[in-house]
Every structure is written in C-alpha cells, then in structure tokens.
Structure 1
Amino acid sequence: MQDTRQTHQARRALTIWAIAVLVYLAAVFHRTTLGVAGLEAGERFGLGPAALGTFTVLQIGLYALMQIPTGLLVDRYGARRVLTVAALLMGLGQLLFAFVTSYPLGLLARAVLGIGDALTFVSVLRLVAAYFPPRRYAALASTTAALGALGNLISTLPLAVLLDSVGWTVTFAATGAATAAYAVVLVLRVRDHPAGAVPATREPESLRVVLGQVRQAWRTPGTRLGFWAHFSTMFAPAMLGLIWGFPYLVQAQGLGVPAAGLLLGLLVVGAIVGGPTIGAVISHRPECRTPLVVGYLLAALGVWAVLLGWPGGHVPVGILVAGFAVLSVGGPASSIAFALARDYNPLRRVGTATGVVNVGGFVAITVSALAVGVLLSIFEPLGSPTAFRLALLAVVAVLLLGLWRTSVWWRRARAAVFDAADRGEDVPVRIRRRAWDLAHT
C-alpha cells in the first residue's frame, strides 16, 4: 500500500513538472523566433540592423530586471499562479506581434512577451524544489534547461517552414493563441505543493521585509557563487545564438547561410545533450559542481583565444565546429548555479534566491551584446574579420570578470561550509579542505 502511494506521488510529481516544462519550452521558442524571422521583421517594420537588434536586447534586459521580482512573486503567490500569468502574457505578446506593423507597437509586443518569458524558469524550478528531494534537484534543473532548448530548435526550421507556408500573421497568431490557451491546463493540473503538504501561511509583507529577503539571499555565499557562476557560463553561447553568432559566421568567417545555421544549431544540440549529462554528474558528485564551472570557463577562454587570435582572422571550419561545441556546454553548466541556490537557502527563500542567480547570466548577455554592437559600429570596415575580432574582445572581458568573481566566491562559500561544519551544523555538501582554503581570510 505504501509503495503504491509513493509510486502515485512520484508520477504526480513528474506530471506536474512535465506540464510546467512545456511552458518553459514555449518561452524559449518565443524568445528565439526572431533568429529566423529577423529578416521578415526588418521588412515588416522597416528597420535596419541596429533597430532590429533592439527587439532582442529589450527582451533580455527585461528578463534580467524581472528575475528578482519573479522570485519574490513565486515565493509569495506560488508557482502555479505565476506560470499561468506567464502563459497569458506570452500569448498576448505574440498575438500583438502578429498584427502590428509599427515599430513602437512591435517593441511593446516583445516587451510583454519578455515579461512573460521572465516568469517561467524560476517558477518551474520552484515546483521542482517542492516536489522532488534535494538530491534530484540538480539533475532536474539541468534537464529542464535542456528540454527548454528544444524550443530553440522548433524556432528554427519548423518555424521557417510555417512562416513560408502561411505567413507572418497566421504563424504568430497561432503560436500566441496556443500559448495563452495553455493557461487553462496550468490552472486545472498544477498545484504548488504535493498532496498532504501544508505550506506555511504568509501574511502580506512590507517593502522592507521583501527587500530584506532579497538581501538575505544575496548575502548568502552560496547564492553569490551561483550568481557569478551563472553570469560566467551562459552568456557567450546565448549571445551568439540570439544576435551576433550569425553575422560573425557569415560576414567575418565567410560561411554560407545554411552552414552558419547548422553551426548555430550545434549550440542548441550541445545544450540538449550536455544538460542531462552535467545534471547526472553533479547529482552523484555534488562536490564537483564549482570545479566543473571553473573548468568550463578556462576552456571557453582557450576557445576565444583561438578564434580571435587565428592568423588572418578566417578560422578553419573544423576549428569553428570544435570551438562552438565547447561553448555550447555553457548553458548546461549554468544550471549548476541553481543547484547552489537551492542547497544554501531555506525552501521559503528558494524562489527569491533562484531569481537572484538567474539575473547574472542575462545581465552578462545584455552587457556583452550591447558592447559587441557598439564596438562593431566603431571599427572599420563594418563586418570585417578584424572588426569582429576587436568587438568580440568584449566577450573575453566579461568572461574574465566572471571567472575572477566566481573564484572569489568559491573560496568564500567553501569557508562558510567549513565554519558551519565546525559548529556542528548540517551542510548540504561535504567537501575536503585544500591547501588554498587555509589562505582564506
């Protein structure tokens, strides 16, 4: 009888997670549609490259700004309500985008879409924290990110075929309406807590209390380590996939459009394959989490050194493939940051801490994308290999900053774990002292 009940609860948890993951997949799909529809958007709204890029920067900037409020909303009102609002906003934004023809209204539509997108990932991870034991959190967070990457794949060839066959308005109206309608499924099937769990009731909180909750999450060394790990790992492949990868490959490297598309698709495939792999590793060996992050960052620096330092600027295709394959691991590696937020914060604050961590990567995407665009507009000739080599140094600068801060907070987080263990407190992960830990002050 007990086994039957546990099996039922496990199936129920997986069902709720799967329903929630579909919202995140839809969010990634909507976020990346302009990768294929960009040229049509330019013609529809009468835009040049700089104005067209504003669509992406606006969405990512809003995503970053919304992460801490999203965490607070999830902790206060529950993941089901927030996910429902997310589906409605994304559907509304895409429906509006389907019918408008003016640039300001197009920006408004993408802003609404971006806010809905921003509400999804933290909400899904909050459900994972509520329904699954901590030891499974890292694997499920990584798998969630990998499944979300399928939305990126759907927004490439299938979306291109749909646009070509039925046109702009029908394509975006249909996808927007389907997303909004999915809110009904969320209301009927998703619950914030497992059956029998009694969540602590919370009275409405003052602004001072809310800000105090954010400060507590930020002051936790594990949260700060997660922030910088997320900042460092996910931005480069995302920035390439969303805006500058295609121009770099076509204009600077001389690849044809199909070859450039396939190479960018490698970033998505790497995320899909790497997510479950890294999740499985860190679930069984949680002490490997931050070393994996640092190892990836050192490898990414090596890739950029080769790509930007190649004599003549035109990198052989085989080297490009290998380099993009390494960079594609950044997305899966970024899920380690959420495991850190989950382990080092109480459950009542996990949503807030996850939001704080999620800000990191999207701030880095926004800063690096803007910096590359500004530098490209300065260096001449525009779009040349030399211009891209100089502009993409901004990516290296962001990566070096992230590696430095990740290293600093890795040591501080380890020191906090050792102090807690010395006081006899339970710690989420047992780690062994190293010689460099003794140098911490």
Structure 2
Amino acid sequence: MRVWASAHAVDDFYQGLVPAAVPYFVLERDFSYVQASGLALAATLGSALPQVPIGLLADRYRMRWMSPLGVSLAGIGAGLSGLVSSYPVVFALLLLAGAGVAMFHPPAGRDARRAAGGSATAMSYFAAGGSVGFFVAPALVTPALDNFGMGATALFVPPAVLMGFILLRHHHRSAAPVARKVQHQGVDRPGLFAALTAVEVVRSTVSTGLNTFISLYWIRHLAASSGLGGTALALELGGGVLGTLLGGRLADRMGMVRTVQIGNAAMLPALWLMLICDDRYYALPLALLVGLISNIPFAVLIKLGQDYLPSRPGTAAGVTLGLAVSAGGLFMPLLGSVATHHGPRGALMVLATVPVLAVLLSTALREPAHHGTEPVEHARSSPESVEDAPPATT
C-alpha cells in the first residue's frame, strides 16, 4: 500500500498542476476564461476516454509496464506544457498528460484493492495518496511559477520519471511465475455501479470546477494576490486529503453508503458558507472545510465501485478513479462561459447548487453483499514474471 499510495500521489500531482497553473496561463499567456477551462477539458479528455478499455485490459492481463509508463507520461506532458506559448500545443501536451493518468489508474487501483483487502480505511490510504498529490501541487507550483514564470513547470518532470522507475523495480522485486490472465470471483451489480458512476460524475463536476476557479475567485472577486489564490487552492486540496482519510474511517464504522450520502449532503452548506464570506483571509478556513467535506465520499466510492463489480476491479477503478472523476472536466467550458459573463464567483455559485443532484442520486446506492471477491491468478510456467497472486478465496 505504501508503494501504490506514493505512486498515486506522484501521478495525481500532475492533475493538481493543471488547476494550479490555470491562473498563470490567464495572466501570462492572456488565455481567456474559456481557453483556460479548455485546458481542464484537455486533461479530462486524455484521462477519461481511455479509462474503460485500459481497465478491461488490466482485468485480463497483468501488463506491469502500464502504471510506470502512465505516471511518467503524466509528468512529461504536464511539465512541458508551460514551456510553449501556442494554445494548441499546450492543449496537446495536457492531452498527453491525461493519457498518462489513464494508463496509471486502472492497474494501480486493481493492485491497491488486493493490498487493501476488505478495508475501506486501507483503501482510503491509496485514495489519499492521490489527494496528497493534488494538495502538494499548488503548494509547489504556485511559488515556482511566481518566481520563475511558466517555464518552471519543467522542474516537475523528473519526479514522474523517477516514480516510473521505482514502480518497475517494485514489480521486479515482487515477481512470481507469470499469470497470463487474471480471473476474479463475485457477482457483479451493474445497475448499482451505474448509479454510483452518476454520483461520481456529479461530484467530479463540483471538484473540477472548484480546482479550476477557486484561485481565480480569490484573485478576481476577493482582490487577493496570486499567491493567496494559490493558498486557497492548496487549502481546499489539503482539506481533501483529510476528508479522504476521514471518509474511510467513517465507512468502516457506519457503512459505506451512509458515509457517501452524508458527505454529499454536507457539501451544500459548506460551499455556500465559503461564498457568503467576502473577506479573503477569513474565507481561507472555509476553503479548507469545503475540501474536507467534499472528499469524504472519495475513497468510499472507489471501494464501493469495486464491490459492485468484483469480477472487474481494474475496470471499476478505471471508472471511479478515472472516467467518472475526470468527466467533470467536460462541463468546464460551460462554467468558463458563465465565468466570462459573471466572473469566477458566478461559476462557483452554479457549482454550489450541483450537489443536490449527488444527494438525490446517492439514495439509489445500497450496501454490497460481502462474498469472496479476491482475485484468483492462473499461472503458467515461464521465465517471465509478475506480482505474486493472492490465494484463491471462496
């Protein structure tokens, strides 16, 4: 779990780099709000569209090279985006970064599930790794861009390449006789998984919108500096780390579905409290609160999704960690249009009403039946190797 949580942190750092860099693309490259929202869309398209086919492959074949290559591409694409001034090239580089994210999440989610067993708390450590990456991104990217300009994004390429190498070494160290195919036990519940995916898409819209516009809200509406805007984003993402860990512990005590429903309902008052406060300093703790509350269901939904699709944990991870989480970026151009006419505050006011949909959709979720759902490996003798397969369960 330590290896996968760390890799998840590095991978999602580059997703956090995009919203941290968006204000600088607006301020230094003179990109419009719609163009800035389009950068979030680029990262979304690259990460969302390939998730399902990659998840299906991860469920069928081990492909130990996929997650190392994915995290490396995520860093290379995002890191190089600040070196160019052409909007189409920046868009293409963020597409590449998104594709790297898509390659990482399904196999990493599959292996993290095996390490976590049946514990939502253990799975929350893996999920929190991604939240840590989001949190660290603005804390590092904002001062780097403030001091060195947009070209400083290139400083963040080496960590991705290094983590890719570490993952390859991890696979080699934990090698066993190769498994050509991976089979899993358990009864799938696609209807419940579809309802969960809908909840994830709604929550993703709120999360992506917050990450994209919260810094600009501080800068343009609250008349704060770019550094304070980056602080607001860092606090919101830092709250997400705490909320992810809290959600896992709550789920092990009070049930996964109830935790998701409480987290969705609590988003409404938290968002409106932040928007009501017009002081750029007093509103900072409210940004932390918004991040905490909005991320309580995050790890729980990942675990719940894999319990709804026990025969395809890689596909479930690809959807819950990738496709559904990234799908919110598809609505960013619409929010960008709202921001163009009504400012970043207008976009956030629209987002503050969206959790109502998540509350309604989450009423369709049910606690999963707990059967043996651990994966079973069927190995063949070969000099090649992959990670050790867990014993079959019944």
TM bucket (normalised to shorter chain) is: 0.7 to 0.9
Whether 1:292 and 2:259 are equivalent positions in the alignment is yes
Whether 1:77 and 2:61 are equivalent positions in the alignment is yes
Distance 1:340 1:177 in 2: 34
Give the deviation of 1:126 after TM superposition: 0.9
2:324 to 356, 360, 373: 360
TM-score (norm 2): 0.79
SS at match of 1:78: coil
Bigger RCO of structures 1 and 2 (CA < 8 A, at least 6 apart): 2
The 3 A distance-change label for structure 1 pair 81 and 56 is same
Matched ranges for 1:86-235 at <5 A: 86-94=70-78, 96-97=80-81, 99-134=83-118, 136=119, 138-163=120-145, 168-169=150-151, 171-190=152-171, 199=179, 201=181, 220-235=190-205
Q: Deviations over 1:5-56 (max 9, x none)?
A: xxxxxxxxxxxx3333333222222222244444554576553333233212
Distance 2:82 2:214 in 1: 26
The amino acid that maps onto 2:215 is F
Residue in 2 aligned with 1:24? Answer: 8
SS at match of 1:121: helix
Give the deviation of 1:58 after TM superposition: 1.2
Distance 2:78 2:340 in 1: 31
The amino acid that maps onto 2:244 is G
Kept in 2, the 8 Å contact 1:146–1:272? The answer is yes
Whether 1:388 and 2:388 are equivalent positions in the alignment is no
The 3 A distance-change label for structure 1 pair 374 and 92 is same
Q: Choose 1 or 2 for highest CA Rg.
A: 1
Kept in 1, the 8 Å contact 2:214–2:232? The answer is no
Give the deviation of 1:355 after TM superposition: 2.1
Q: What is the Cα-based RMSD across aligned positions, in Å?
A: 3.5
The amino acid that maps onto 1:374 is S
The amino acid that maps onto 2:53 is P
Matched ranges for 1:273-288 at <5 A: 273-283=242-252, 285=253, 287-288=254-255
The 3 A distance-change label for structure 1 pair 197 and 267 is farther
Distance 2:121 2:345 in 1: 37
Distance 1:95 1:150 in 2: 18
Structure 2: gaps spanning 5 or more residues:
374-394
SS at match of 2:354: helix
Kept in 1, the 8 Å contact 2:204–2:327? The answer is no
Kept in 1, the 8 Å contact 2:47–2:101? The answer is yes
Whether 1:337 and 2:301 are equivalent positions in the alignment is yes
More helix by share: 1
Give the deviation of 1:253 after TM superposition: 3.6
Give the deviation of 1:305 after TM superposition: 4.6
SS at match of 1:328: helix
Q: Deviations over 1:186-209 (max 9, x none)?
A: 2222269x7768857369xxxxxx
Distance 2:287 2:30 in 1: 35
Kept in 1, the 8 Å contact 2:273–2:286? The answer is no
Q: Deviations over 1:70-100 (max 9, x none)?
A: 3113213326322022033224424643543
The 3 A distance-change label for structure 1 pair 120 and 140 is farther
Distance 1:172 1:405 in 2: 39
SS at match of 1:156: helix
Give the deviation of 1:296 after TM superposition: 1.8
Give the deviation of 1:255 after TM superposition: 4.1
Residue in 1 aligned with 2:32? Answer: 48
Give the deviation of 1:302 after TM superposition: 2.4
Residue in 1 aligned with 2:232? Answer: 263
Kept in 1, the 8 Å contact 2:109–2:318? The answer is no
The 3 A distance-change label for structure 1 pair 328 and 197 is farther
Distance 2:222 2:153 in 1: 32
Residue in 2 aligned with 1:208? Answer: none
Kept in 2, the 8 Å contact 1:142–1:275? The answer is yes
Percent of matched pairs sharing the same residue: 19
Residue in 1 aligned with 2:338? Answer: 375
The amino acid that maps onto 1:187 is L
Distance 2:269 2:6 in 1: 36
SS at match of 2:64: helix
Kept in 1, the 8 Å contact 2:236–2:287? The answer is no
The 3 A distance-change label for structure 1 pair 303 and 129 is closer
Whether 1:249 and 2:218 are equivalent positions in the alignment is yes
Kept in 1, the 8 Å contact 2:223–2:280? The answer is no
Give the deviation of 1:301 after TM superposition: 1.8
Distance 2:4 2:104 in 1: 8
The 3 A distance-change label for structure 1 pair 167 and 388 is closer
TM-score (norm 1): 0.71
Give the deviation of 1:397 after TM superposition: 4.7
The 3 A distance-change label for structure 1 pair 79 and 231 is farther
Structure 1: gaps spanning 5 or more residues:
1-16, 204-212, 418-424, 429-441
Kept in 1, the 8 Å contact 2:102–2:318? The answer is no
Distance 1:184 1:255 in 2: 40
